[in-house]
Each structure stands twice: as structure tokens, then as C-alpha cells.
Amino acid sequence: MSYNPYEAGQQPQPGGQPGYPQPGGGGYPQPGGYPQPDGYPQPAGYPQPGGYPPPAGYPQPGGSMYPQPGAGYPQPTTEQPQPGGGLMQAPQGGADCPPGLEYLTQVDQLLIKQKVEILEAFTGFETANKYTVKNSLGQKIYFAVEDTDCCTRNCCGPARPFDIKIMDHQQREVIHLDRPLRCQSCCFPCCLQELEVTSNHSLMGMVKQNWSLCGPSFDIMNEGGNTVLKIEGPTCTWSLCGDVSFKVLSADGKHKVGKITKQWTGLVKEAFTDADNFGISFPLDLDVKMKATMLGAAFLIDFMFFEKAQNKETDGMGML
């Protein structure tokens, strides 16, 4: 018997293919059965928004693995040298370098800044001078303080004898300056100014004033009494709105190798205080003992020509 699809209630299929499901039939997918937007099947394993897995090993913010400030980050130390400030770290010194002078092996310039004393500025009562010694980058190398009694400072004025202790960052004395009480008038050439520079009670050098009518003159001498450098100052040492420079010459006086400069600090500061700033330059390969002696020479020059008595400037030749 032949099969008649009309008798079986089925519609003939396109192309005459038997068994093709008709609309509304049980085998034809109806529109209501299509997956809707909220129910589209996603590819297997596809991460949904908000649930993306992080890269393997990546620390998440707020997680225990996330490095927080102060918990693992290297923090800067207070003694780390910074351009324009901070403390200079001591380099390695040679076998013949006295302890504490390693800082001087790597510098060819020094800056001396005197601390302003408010009591002295307003009352004229002389207080002990305090200084900071820095390199050309502004990093602190040494601290210096005058060691004198009140009577000596106020009775003898700028001509007073003094001991200045120069200390490193650990407050250890590395350089000692000793100025005895001597005449600083050119009328007495046999009793001129002297300064001894010592380290750990060992003599490193001396500064001796030479008798001169033209301008200040000093010899920088080593521990054996031999002249290594000379210092020649201007005829007039008045600081009139500008720097005052003292030339540092070779031992024969023919070659300029550096200078000591009293820096102009401004009209108000110059008029009402004796807090002075000095700059020192010298050859980089100069012996550290002579560098320390030149540092002492700057302090002696400050007291002789720029220290004030009762807020009054001393005369240009440093006479009594």
C-alpha cells in the first residue's frame, strides 16, 4: 500500500522530502522557544562582567599581597645626601688622613654659614659664635662652635683669644682651632696674629700673619713650619654691598690657587648682625691637612676683619 501524506494529516514537504516538521508541529522550533536576550547561552568558560579573573600572581588593591606604604617600600633615611641639603656621607680616606677629615678629600670648595644670634642682634651682648660648614651642594659637613667665656667675649671683642671646636655629624671633635691673645696692629710686627690647627691633639698646620702696610697677608704653614700657601687680602676690607676676596697663592706667591671670600649677605643682615658667610676654594688634590688649615684661616679672617664689637664694624686693617 502506498503512503499518502494527505491522508495522514501531514503537509507535503518542500522538495517532496518526507518527515519535515511543519509550523505548529511538535518537531519545528517555535519563536517562543528561541533563547531570549536574558537567556542567551554563553560560550563555555567565558568570564562575565565583574568577574574577570585577575592575571596570575597580580596583587589586588586592599589585599594582603598588595605592598602598602611603609610595609616593604624602602624609606629614605635622614642621613641620605640630597642635592641642596642633607648630610654629606664620609668617603673613604687614605691611610695618612686623620680621622674625621675624610670629607675634605672629595671637595674643592667649602661654605661657612654663621648662625644669627637674636640676643646679640638686639642687645649687642656678645654670644659664642656658631657655624655650619657645607660643601658646594649645600650638604652639611661640619658644625663649629666657639668655646670662650662671657667675660672674654665682651671685654676683648673681636681681638679675643678663642678655641673653636669643629665637629662631625656624630658630634665628635675632628678639628680644633686655637687663637692666642696677640696684637693685631701693624705697629707691632713682632707680635702678630697666629692660629694653630690640630686634630686629635696633633698639629696639622698654622696660620701666621705677616707684617704689611699694603693689605692683609698670611702664611699657611704645615706642621713642620714650612710655608705651603700664602693669603693676600685687599687694602680695604670694608664690605660695601659686595663680596670681599682674599687671594690664595702658591708658596712663591706667583700663582693663584684659590680664594677666601667674605660673601655679601644683604643690607639688613650686614647692618644689624655680625653673622657672616664665607666661601673657600682650593685645589682638589691639596693635602687634607692644608685644607683644614685654610678652613681655620677663614675663621681667623672673620674675627680680624668682619667681627663686630657692640655691633660696630672693625676698621679695614684689623687694627686695635
Give per-residue pLDDT as tens, 16-28.
Answer: 444 555 555 455 5
- Residue 121: how many CB atoms within 10 A of its CB? 16
Distinct helix (H) and strand (E) counts, the chain: 4, 12
Give per-residue pLDDT as tens, 106-120.
Answer: 999 999 998 877 766
CATH class of the domain whose range is 102-306: mainly beta
Tell me, yes or no, if the pTM score tops 0.75: no
Give per-residue pLDDT as tens, 155-174.
Answer: 888 889 999 999 998 899 99
* Coil vs helix vs strand at 200: coil
Cα separation, 33 vs 36, in Å, equals 8
* Coil vs helix vs strand at 250: strand
Give me the residue label for grid cell 656658631: 130
Residue 281: pLDDT band (50, 70, 90) is: very high
144 versus 4: the higher-pLDDT residue is 144
Q: Where are the domains of the chain?
A: 102-306
In sequence order, which residues have a C-beta less than 8 Å from that of residue 281 and are 6 or more positions away? 108, 109, 248, 258, 259
pLDDT at 42: 53
